[in-house]
Each structure stands twice: as structure tokens, then as C-alpha cells.
Structure 1
Amino acid sequence: MGSTTKVLNANRLKIGISIFDVMPYDKAAERMTYVHRALESGQLQVYEYELEVEGQIHYEEARLIREHVTFVTQWLH
């Protein structure tokens, strides 16, 4: 029993694209704060946020962890 998740700016998702191109500036800046924390600390970073997609508010949780010195993996729930 799965559900379909709508993606913000799905037509812009490509390898190498900036998060600032697919998310509102304030949400992208917040995400990058947690990316930097994950890179610097090596610790799992978890935070919750709201995101409006097609007029509906979605409540999400992001989990970010450093995989390499310059690479962060993200899970969304």
C-alpha cells in the first residue's frame, strides 16, 4: 500500500543540478546548513521541514550523513 510522492520541480532533476534550482531558496539554504554540518561532523543530521508542492503542504524529515569527505547521502521520510 504505497503512495505517490510529488516532486518539487521534477523536470529539473538531473545529476549535477543545484538544490537551489529545485527548492525554494530558504529551504535549499536550510538543507545546505545540514549538509555542511554532516560534512564537518561526520554525524547523522536529522531535521523536519514543511514544503509546499502543487498547493499542498508536505511535512518531511531529512536524514543526512557524510559518505565521503565531500559527499553526503540523504534519506527523506
Structure 2
Amino acid sequence: MSTASKVVLGLSVVLTLSTVAGVHLKQTWDRQRLHEGVVRDLERLQRRKENLKLLEEQRSLTRQLEEERERRRAEQS
């Protein structure tokens, strides 16, 4: 085997191994990003539920306040 063919074979092996390693690392990175996206979505949904609950509480309190104001107006009249 000549020196040139050994160099070409060595470069081919190195490039193949680095390509396989690069693809593996990219897949791992992509999988991690997808998982983080799911976690963020779950957190966003939880915050939305909390916000809706707070909004409903505020609506209820507003209704109570308006009813109380109406009662006071009726008592003053």
C-alpha cells in the first residue's frame, strides 16, 4: 500500500467518524431542544390557567363591587 493511499484511507476514516459524531451530536441537541419546547409549552399553559383564574376572580369581585354600589345608591334614594 502506497503512502498516498494510506493518507487517503486515513482521511476517509477521520471524515467518516467526524461526520457520524457530528450527526449524533446534532440529533442529541435537537432532541434536547424539542424537550425544552414541551416544558416551555407546559409552563405557558400553567401560566395561562393561572391568569384565567385570576381574571375570573377579578370579574367576580367587580360584579360584587357593582352590586354593592347599586345597593348603596338604592339605599340613598
Same fold (TM over 0.5): no
Q: Compare the two structures and name the one with the higher strand fraction.
A: 1
Q: Compare the two structures and name the one with the higher helix fraction.
A: 2
| TM-score normalised by structure 2 residue count | 0.24
Rg (Cα) greater in structure = 2
| TM-score normalised by structure 1 residue count | 0.24
Structure with greater contact order relative to length (CA < 8 Å, sep ≥ 6): 1
